[in-house]
Amino acid sequence: MSDLGSQRLQGRVAFVSGGLRGIGLACVERFLAEGAEVILSDLDASDSDHARMVMAQLGQAATYVQANVTREEDWQRACEVVIQRHGKLHILVNNAGTDQTGAVETIDLEAWRRIMAINVDGVFLGVKTFVPLLAESGREVKGGASIINVSSIMGLVGFNEVSPYNASKGAVRMFTKGIAIEFAQKKMPIRANSLHPGFVTTPLLNEGFQRWVDKGFAARPQDLVDMMAAQTPVGRLADPAELASGVFFLASEDSSYMTGAELVIDGGWTAQ
């Protein structure tokens, strides 16, 4: 990552949902290191200890908005903050997401709807809300504004007892292709691509592994980390910064000819 901190996003404004932890936070940090101004959203109250700690570390170029991605009124409010503070938006990362595990016959309809609301409605609402601003701001950028929707390798291949997550991430993958074609055909200066991470060391993964332990699939979360690492061709899990590198590429003019594509960063998992 020789270009880290190269200021290649100077003058750009980026929005990242779910930006207080994991992959989202790594994207925020990378965008800031590249000179962008960043608005991040998450569920935490603005005056919560965690939000205050993260925002203090990020500094003045970052703005926090408490917003639940499932609520359209929260997206509207977030959009007003972006317009008031910056008047433009070049990069949208729909990153907020959650998981759901269990045998399909044990999944409550309510739990199914919850994951669809966060992982699918949340991406749709983010795109819907920001398209007018992205289309306007995208005229300033080679290749146009960039939407990066965070899917998963689970949006490409099936996995045992994660069928609602598989379904939600598959929907993100195809929604992204749909909007990419729509924008291109209408000559709107917006690109849209999906990101497909493999296993990444984040709070989401750790909490998911703890649930598998609680169900008796393993004695300790570390056993699951070791198992996933052994099943990954490169022999380890990813660091969130390694995903942020891919998101930075999709956000930058280096990917100006990419739209409707899938960027897989999975240590070779889906190549097997």
Ligand X SMILES: NC(=O)c1ccc[n+]([C@@H]2O[C@H](COP(=O)([O-])OP(=O)(O)OC[C@H]3O[C@@H](n4cnc5c(N)ncnc54)[C@H](O)[C@@H]3O)[C@@H](O)[C@H]2O)c1
Residue 141 is a binding residue for ligand X (CB under 6 A):
no
Q: Which two tokens stand for residue 181?
A: 């074609």
Greatest alpha-carbon span in the chain: 54
Q: Segment 24-63, which members bind ligand X (CB under 6 A)?
A: 24, 42-43
Judged by beta carbon, residue 11 or residue 158, the one nearer ligand X is 158
Contact with ligand X (CB under 6 A) among 199, 209, 248, 269? 199
Residue 202 is a binding residue for ligand X (CB under 6 A):
yes
In the block, tokens 């509207």 appear at 76
> Which span (4-12, 106-114, 131-139, 192-200) binds ligand X, by CB under 6 A?
192-200
Residue 173 is a binding residue for ligand X (CB under 6 A):
no
Active site (annotated) includes residue 165: yes
Length of the chain: 272
Q: Which two tokens stand for residue 140?
A: 């300033």
Residue 20 is a binding residue for ligand X (CB under 6 A):
yes
Residue 150 is a binding residue for ligand X (CB under 6 A):
yes
> Which span (129-137, 140-148, 176-184, 194-202) binds ligand X, by CB under 6 A?
194-202
Question: How is residue 237 annotated by DSSP?
Answer: P
> Which span (18-26, 53-61, 78-86, 248-256) binds ligand X, by CB under 6 A?
18-26
What is the crossing angle of helices 203-214 and 221-231, to 10°?
A: 110
Contact with ligand X (CB under 6 A) among 9, 14, 16, 18? 18
Residue 144 is a binding residue for ligand X (CB under 6 A):
no
Supply the minimum distance, in Å, between the C-beta of residue 253 and ligand X: 24
**CB neighbours (10 Å) of residue 163?**
18
**Residue 195 — φ and ψ, nearest 5°?**
-110, 135
On whether the CB atoms of residues 24 and 18 are closer than 8 A, the answer is yes
Supply the minimum distance, in Å, between the C-beta of residue 153 and ligand X: 6
Catalytic residue among 124, 165, 183, 269: 165
Distance between CA atoms of 173 and 182, rounded to whole angstroms?
A: 15
Judged by beta carbon, residue 150 or residue 251, the one nearer ligand X is 150
**CB neighbours (10 Å) of residue 135?**
18
On whether the CB atoms of residues 20 and 47 are closer than 8 A, the answer is no
x/- map, 104-133, ligand X, by CB under 6 A: --------------x---------------
On whether the CB atoms of residues 46 and 74 are closer than 8 A, the answer is no
Reported in sequence order, the residue ranges of 25-138 that DSSP labels E, i.e. its strands, are: 37-42, 62-66, 91-94
Applying CB under 6 A, the residues found at the interface with ligand X are 17-18, 20-24, 42-43, 68-70, 95-98, 118, 150, 152, 197, 199-200, 202-205
Catalytic site positions = 165
